Chain A
Amino acid sequence: MSVEIKTNSISTIRNTYSHIKRRFGDKPATRYQEASYDIEATENFHYKPLWDPQRSLNDESRTSIKMKDWYQINDPRQFYYGAYVGNRAKMQESAETSYKFCEKRNLISGLDESIHLKILKYLVPFRHLNLSANMNNSMIAGDSVATTVAQAHIYQSMDHLGMGQYLSRIALIIDGNTGTALNTSKTFWIDDPMWQPMRKLAEDSMVVKDWFELSLLQNLLIDKAVFAFVYEAMDEWFATLGARDISMLTEFMRDWNKDTTRWIVAVVKTAVAESDENKEKLQAWVNLWEPQVFSALVPIAQETVGKDALVNVQNELAALLKKTGLQSTESTL
């Protein structure tokens, strides 16, 4: 038996918007489709930007990667704004539970001062790398064309801000909300020789002009190598020091890394598959940047997990690059 509610059914005159119909045919559309396809202006721009008079607004030539249709690059997670914040709200909810639990039980603040110092020296400074990632992705969101591409980058941008804030909170737990631990941690980032190649990489990334190159560098090469290094290898290392509880506070980052790998691999893969020219350019950027990412990780690894742990990281990145149709340079570490 089922209960049947009679409703006044009214026939519709169309299934979806015309621009969605042109793309997907005359049928009801998903929310991702109606939110993400062909809502961005494409023509008849009135004025050349004062900040880039050679190009127009929404100009496809802000990257040298070429796509016949930029909407071919989309998001396997189907994130439009509502789906995105819904997903991250769930992630933050469990993060919040972990932070509260750690604070209540003094799991972090109760650790040895020498461990605190290691956390401030090797883990917390990565919040600065979150900030350059935040800036880079904001630029890409502003420069890229097609909503399917641009929206995912503003999500990346805000995610990195959020993760930088989570790392900062670890230091605030350590210093009892005074800021002194964050000050200490920042001096490592600024002055410690071990951090300088990483800080240089962050600053170098902020002057990359081609947004696709920047997305490849930031969201694939840097993020995937750094997250595997910090939140897998270094996480194990902290556990051996008796600080396994730190994992609870970085679970968000591991979940996030899994979630965004799916996306960035799809982005790069689609651009590689489009043409040999794209593939050559992207491979050249991998050749240029991948060794720099690993050289920046080496000094940190040497002081912590040991250089050998980077081989694993490199293999994982190589496997991802292979999925996109590109090759790791497999530079000697």
Chain B
Amino acid sequence: MTATKKLNLKQKYQYLTRDMDWEPSYQKKSDIFPLEEFEGIKIIDWDGWEDPFRLTMDSYWKYQAEKEKKLYAIFDAFAQNNGHQNISDARYVNSLKLFLSGVSPLEYAAFQGYAKVGRQFSGAGARVACQMQAIDELRHSQTQQHAMSHYNKHFNGLHDAPLMHDRVWFLSVPKSFFDDARSAGPFEFLTAISFSFEYVLTNLLFVPFMSGAAYNGDMATVTFGFSAQSDEARHMTLGLEIIKFLLEQHEDNVPIVQQWIDKWFWRGFRLLSLVSMMMDYMLPNKVMSWKEAWEVYYEQSGGALFKDLERYGIRPPKYQDVANAAKEHISHQLWSTFYQYGQATNFHTWMPKKEELDWLAEKYPDSFNKYYRPRFEHWDELQKKNQRYYNPTLPQLCQVCQVPVLFTETDDPSSISHRDTVYKEDRYHFCSEACCEIFGNEPEKYVQAWLPVHQIYQGNCGGPELPGVLSDYYHINLGEDNLEFSGSPDEKRWNEMKGIKPSKKDDAA
């Protein structure tokens, strides 16, 4: 062989990945990659794809195996030493219940979605990056099962998470989010998950749960978090590359991508409202308020990002200002809702203690005492009179994000934001202008939504009576998994374990 110039790392990686690909001639390219064009995205040249990371499989196996070895050593030690005794308080475990039933199934759905798009692009560089994310996501879904396995042996509400994800009313919020992305085309999937979710919003999902674990003595979960960090970093670089690639390939892609960014920013924001209540209400030791997190991770980082994307003709997400203004309210509104429907959840709810109310007042000086504290104090009074409030009427769900219609108008925190529209003679209801608009762009998709409340009323969830739905269809162990925290079997076991005398009712507020 005649020696020419030695390959640099970038070229070498290209030889080790995309150069294995070839131009087919026995089958039509459009038959091998049938889904590359139907979304209207124009790709002029896949050679323009910059590999977002360079990791050959031998290194992948090596690094990942090292990480797994360390992670499982901690899991084993955690179980052997009953590490769950070291958490801040038994209330903390409720955020794990939310995580295992709300987030872990999404990791699995991400595995499926990335495996699929990992086959669909005719650019081999992009395919390989997606496949690597697919197997990473499988990793996360499985290590989360293992991280929570020990908790499941000592606390209620974690025992049937995948089934609950498919059936329980509020879990249709995360489920429909991912179903929406997976049922879209490959480019929208990547814009939705890699860019809007993993790149723009991931710090608002991942960081709160993992920092929450660190602040609350949960060694198993926080170790998972550290172990997954380098995977997540790779996923984020893929998110940024896909968006730049689409925008650089053709100017006709810009309006399509903009509409996807508008949609997926909002879908993600609504999904994260569940995290907002977790941060503000479910963590006994708080990391930061939702409002602070939103300011740091969205307003500042997102602001810089969209400034950077301006040169491609991309503007910030359309309803960004509504989301920014809502940071004062969503966690309180959502916790109020879950508190009222605590009979129908796989985790416990409670009223914040006095010092927690004070913390909320301090973090939300413009909204908490004015709009929310009086309601909470009222409920607390009722609870002291043994009249703990549960709402017996099922809520109206938004046709798109599937959160109950509970959020308020931007300019009036005392009036519920509600929109509706008629499509083919049926009326559909929404929580916001943004969700209504998302529906309007793809009505045929969203009329199909499996809305849990409608399904209960139609008798598709195991019967007409709520207790039957909860126990037989949702598999919620009544009196163990659901209802108020104080007086729950979780609390009782925790108190026995820690030698705490039963809490007096007036400990709260």
Contacts and interface: CB of A to CB of B under 8 A. Distances in A.
Interface of A: 7-8, 10, 12-19, 31, 34-36, 38-51, 57-58, 80-82, 85-86, 88-89, 91-93, 95-96, 113, 116, 127-128, 130-131, 134-136, 138-139, 141-143, 147, 150-151, 153-155, 157-159, 161-162, 164-166, 168-169, 172, 174-182, 184, 186, 189-190, 199-200, 203-204, 206-207
Contact of B448 (A13, A46, A93, A174): A46
11 contacts: A12-B153, A38-B163, A46-B449, A89-B61, A116-B1, A131-B20, A135-B119, A157-B115, A165-B16, A186-B19, A206-B27
A146 to B, nearest CB: 11
Given A89-B62, A180-B2, A204-B26, A50 B179 contact: no
A96 B58 contact: yes
A46 B32 contact: no
B91 interface: no
Given A40-B162, A44-B166, A46-B176, 17 more contacts: A18-B475, A38-B162, A39-B108, A43-B167, A46-B183, A46-B450, A47-B449, A81-B135, A81-B138, A91-B61, A128-B20, A128-B21, A135-B119, A150-B112, A154-B135, A154-B138, A203-B25
Interface in B35-77: 35, 38, 56-58, 60-62, 64-66, 68-69, 71-72
Nearest to A90: B65
B97 interface: no
A112 to B, nearest CB: 12
A47 B183 CA distance: 7
A153 B135 CA distance: 10
A42 B163 CA distance: 8
Given A35-B145, A57-B182, A93-B62, A82 B21 contact: no
A30 to B, nearest CB: 11
Contacts of B135: 81, 154-155, 158
A207 B36 CA distance: 14
A164 B20 contact: yes
Interface string B444-460: 01101110000100000
Given A18-B160, A50-B183, A88 B65 contact: yes
Contacts of A19: 160, 162-163
Contacts of A155: 135
Interface string B422-456: 00000000000000000000000110111000010
A31 B103 CA distance: 20
Contacts of B167: 43-44
B6 interface: yes
Interface of B: 1-7, 11-12, 15-17, 19-27, 31-32, 35, 38, 56-58, 60-62, 64-66, 68-69, 71-72, 80-82, 85, 104-105, 108-109, 111-119, 124, 127-128, 131-132, 134-135, 138-139, 141-143, 145-146, 149, 152-156, 158-163, 165-167, 172, 175-176, 179-180, 182-185, 445-446, 448-450, 455, 475, 493, 497
A178 B56 CA distance: 18
Given A51-B185, A151-B138, A172-B12, A85 B68 contact: yes
Contacts, number: 279
B35 A43 contact: no
A203 B1 contact: no
A44 B450 contact: yes
Given A86-B68, A150-B115, A203-B27, A45 B152 contact: no
Contacts of B4: 178-180
A277 to B, nearest CB: 27
Contacts of B160: 17-19
A141 B108 CA distance: 12
Contacts of B32: 203, 206-207
A10 B154 contact: yes
Contacts of A158: 57, 60, 131-132, 135
B11 A179 contact: yes
B159 A14 contact: yes
Nearest to A120: B1
Label chain A's interface by main secondary structure: helix
Given A51-B35, A92-B58, A131 B21 contact: yes
Contacts of A81: 68, 135, 138-139, 142-143
Given A81-B138, A138-B115, A190-B22, A177 B175 contact: no
Nearest to A168: B16
Contacts of B105: 39, 41
Contact of B159 (A17, A46, A143, A153): A17
B116 A16 contact: no
Contacts of A10: 82, 85, 154, 497
10 nearest A-B residue pairs (beta carbon): A162-B57, A142-B116, A89-B65, A142-B115, A141-B115, A35-B142, A12-B153, A131-B20, A139-B119, A18-B160
A64 B456 CA distance: 33
Contacts of A200: 26
A96 B61 CA distance: 12
B64 to A, nearest CB: 4
Contacts of A172: 7, 12, 15
A207 B31 contact: yes
Contacts of B127: 135, 138
Contacts of A169: 16
A82 B131 contact: no
Contact of A15 (B60, B153, B184): B153
Contacts of B179: 45-47, 57
A147 B159 CA distance: 19
A50 B183 CA distance: 6
